[in-house]
């Protein structure tokens, strides 16, 4: 059957990650006949988007593929007629992320881009914007798929599901990174490894690992406990306690360090903030040098320097998913979708991150069954935080926001929750009109 060629709209096109996405499109052009890519960004990102646009044109010319490239500030034009809308924007830019990291640290609380109060602040800024984008999709491309990478990816996808009609799937590079790292330590190919993944975004466990049908979960846990490389570029590699891993009986994701090794991670964050700066402050410097490289007119491929960012494999995660939907592959992916009974401990409309079968119809999660008590408590608590955050972000509801922070396991005390929340509202004033406070 002849299928129509594809139009992709990339919202946040000026991101330094975009060349990885473009490389992924070029590599799959036979399977995914992309005819148009429309990058959109905000006016303040004009310079970055122009650099990305020029590099993209060089990349596709070098590869000899024919794709119509557009770059504009006209979101509606980008969305009109799109088959897939990819969201990878950052409201407030890296400065807002740096604030998210520094505010909690001031009160002795983890300051991180996506978990704890940092992720909370990012969600408050992001949710109103993504809902606006969804209104445009509903009107201008009602059949399009929204693939959301914007963090906190699970929580943001839950807001989209609850408040719009858009067909949305949330995506993260952690599951594919876990697969790569586990395959490496087990000395097998990523394809030989099967993982049963379930949890929430950035709180994902591989409950079982198999190679060739043999359960190797305990072996993996032992290797992680023995110090096998197991982290992302943006998370410090705090060693895992082997006894704890054995007791846990499931393979945690690198982000679990914030929840299970909070003191050590906090100490790392404080030390980094005082010496080289928070992660956002470090990334600002990396971004500058990346964009300097991208400007080079002789550059026509994705530079390896991009690998110093935490988002490795994000292009594979999104394009393999598009491949599966477009070509109706019915293949397995780890995605963020509505639970619908896959984890009986959670409500049906809670967005979870889990293994799912993906085809032309979208993503259907594989049932994992009731989570063990050792895991379900943390999941329920973080999900409660997420549900409250969505409500707070949509309705500008201070009480819900405060209760979200009070439910977050990384916030130890409501007096700190209040101080942090008030600082967040103050510093993000321009991005949080829904709260109507000064
Ligand atoms: C990880 C996460 C992403 C996040 C990225 C940040 O890979 O899974 O959700 O965006 O790190 O990386 P950065 O280089 O910006 O710190």
Are 393 and 127 a contacting pair, CB within 8 Å? Answer: yes
Ligand 1 site, residue 234, Cβ cutoff 6 A: yes
Ligand 1 site, residue 12, Cβ cutoff 6 A: no
The CA distances from residue 276 to 171, 271, 285, in Å, are: 30, 8, 11
Residue 4 reports pLDDT greater than 80 = yes
pTM above 0.90, yes or no: yes
**Does the residue 227 lie in any domain?**
no
**Does the residue 76 lie in any domain?**
yes
Q: For residue 157, which of 334, 343, 386 has the smallest C-alpha distance?
A: 386
The CATH number assigned to the domain holding 60 equals: 3.40.50.720
**% of the chain exceeding 70 in pLDDT:** 99
Q: Is 332 helix (H, G, I), strand (E, B) or coil?
A: strand
Q: How far is the CA of 239 from the centre of ligand 1 (A)?
A: 20
Q: What is the mean pLDDT of residues 282-292?
A: 95
Q: Given ligand 1 and candidates 173, 177, 230, 235, which is best to mutate, with the most ligand atoms within 8 Å of its CB?
A: 173
Contacts of residue 354, defined as CB under 8 A and 6 or more positions apart, other chains included, come to: 197, 198, 199, 334, 335, 337, 342, 343, 365, 366, 368
Q: For residue 257, which of 249, 265, 267 has the smallest C-alpha distance?
A: 265
Are 408 and 116 a contacting pair, CB within 8 Å? Answer: yes
Ligand 1 site, residue 90, Cβ cutoff 6 A: no
Give me the catalytic one of 17, 255, 313, 431: 255
On whether 202 is known to bind a ligand per the annotation, the reply is yes
pLDDT score recorded for residue 310: 81
Active site residue 431: no
Instruction: Quickly state the pLDDT bin for 3 (edges 50, 70, 90).
Output: confident
On whether 172 is known to bind a ligand per the annotation, the reply is yes
ipTM over 0.95: yes
CB atoms within 10 A of CB 212: 9
Q: Measure the CA–CA gap between 45 and 11, rounded to whole angstroms.
A: 12
**Does the residue 74 lie in any domain?**
yes
Q: Given ligand 1 and candidates 148, 234, 277, 287, which is best to mutate, with the most ligand atoms within 8 Å of its CB?
A: 234
H/E stretch holding 87 = strand 84-87
**Does the residue 118 lie in any domain?**
yes
**Does the residue 181 lie in any domain?**
no
Ligand 1 site, residue 310, Cβ cutoff 6 A: yes
Q: Which of ligand 1's atoms lies nearest the C-alpha of 308? A: 14
> Which domain, by its residues, includes 121?
6-169
Ligand 1 site, residue 311, Cβ cutoff 6 A: yes
pLDDT score recorded for residue 249: 97
Instruction: Quickly state the pLDDT bin for 248 (edges 50, 70, 90).
Output: very high
pLDDT tens figures, 382-414: 999 999 999 999 999 999 999 999 999 999 999
On whether 97 is known to bind a ligand per the annotation, the reply is yes
Query: How many separate domains does the chain show?
Result: 1
pLDDT score recorded for residue 438: 44
**Does the residue 20 lie in any domain?**
yes
**Does the residue 97 lie in any domain?**
yes
**Does the residue 53 lie in any domain?**
yes
């Amino acid at each position: 059957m002849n299928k129509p060629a594809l139009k992709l709209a990339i919202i946040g096109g000026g991101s330094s990650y975009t060349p990885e996405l473009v490389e992924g499109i070029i590599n799959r052009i036979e399977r995914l006949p992309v005819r148009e890519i429309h990058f959109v960004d905000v006016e303040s990102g004009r310079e970055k988007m122009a650099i990305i646009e020029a590099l993209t044109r060089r990349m596709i010319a070098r590869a000899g593929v024919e794709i119509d490239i557009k770059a504009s500030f006209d979101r509606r034009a980008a969305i009109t007629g799109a088959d897939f809308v990819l969201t990878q924007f950052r409201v407030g830019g890296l400065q807002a992320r740096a604030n998210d990291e520094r505010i909690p640290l001031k009160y002795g609380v983890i300051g991180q881009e996506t978990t704890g109060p940092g992720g909370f602040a990012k969600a408050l800024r992001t949710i109103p914007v993504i809902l606006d984008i969804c209104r445009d999709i509903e009107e201008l491309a009602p059949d399009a798929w929204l693939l959301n990478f914007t963090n906190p990816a699970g929580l943001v996808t839950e807001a989209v599901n609850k408040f719009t009609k858009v067909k949305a799937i949330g995506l993260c590079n952690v599951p594919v990174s876990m697969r790569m790292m586990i395959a490496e330590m087990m000395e097998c190919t990523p394809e030989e490894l099967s993982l049963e993944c379930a949890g929430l975004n950035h709180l994902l466990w591989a409950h079982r690992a198999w190679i060739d049908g043999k359960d190797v979960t305990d072996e993996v846990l032992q290797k992680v406990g023995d110090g096998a490389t197991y982290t992302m570029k943006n998370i410090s590699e705090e060693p895992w306690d082997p006894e704890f891993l054995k007791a846990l009986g499931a393979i945690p994701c690198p982000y679990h360090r914030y929840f299970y090794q909070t003191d050590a991670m906090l100490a790392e964050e404080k030390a980094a903030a005082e010496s080289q700066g928070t992660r956002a402050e470090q990334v600002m410097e990396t971004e500058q040098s990346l964009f300097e490289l991208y400007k080079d007119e002789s550059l026509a491929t994705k530079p390896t320097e991009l690998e110093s960012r935490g988002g490795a494999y994000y292009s594979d995660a999104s394009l393999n998913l598009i491949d599966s939907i477009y070509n109706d592959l019915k293949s397995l992916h780890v995605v963020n979708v509505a639970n619908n009974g896959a984890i009986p401990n959670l409500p049906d409309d809670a967005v979870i991150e889990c293994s799912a079968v993906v085809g032309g119809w979208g993503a259907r999660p594989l049932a994992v069954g009731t989570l063990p008590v050792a895991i379900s408590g943390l999941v329920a608590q973080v999900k409660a935080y997420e549900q409250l955050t969505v409500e707070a972000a949509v309705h500008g509801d201070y009480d819900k926001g405060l209760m979200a922070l009070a439910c977050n396991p990384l916030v130890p005390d409501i007096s700190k929750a209040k101080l942090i929340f008030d600082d967040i509202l103050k510093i993000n004033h321009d991005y949080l009109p829904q709260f109507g406070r000064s």
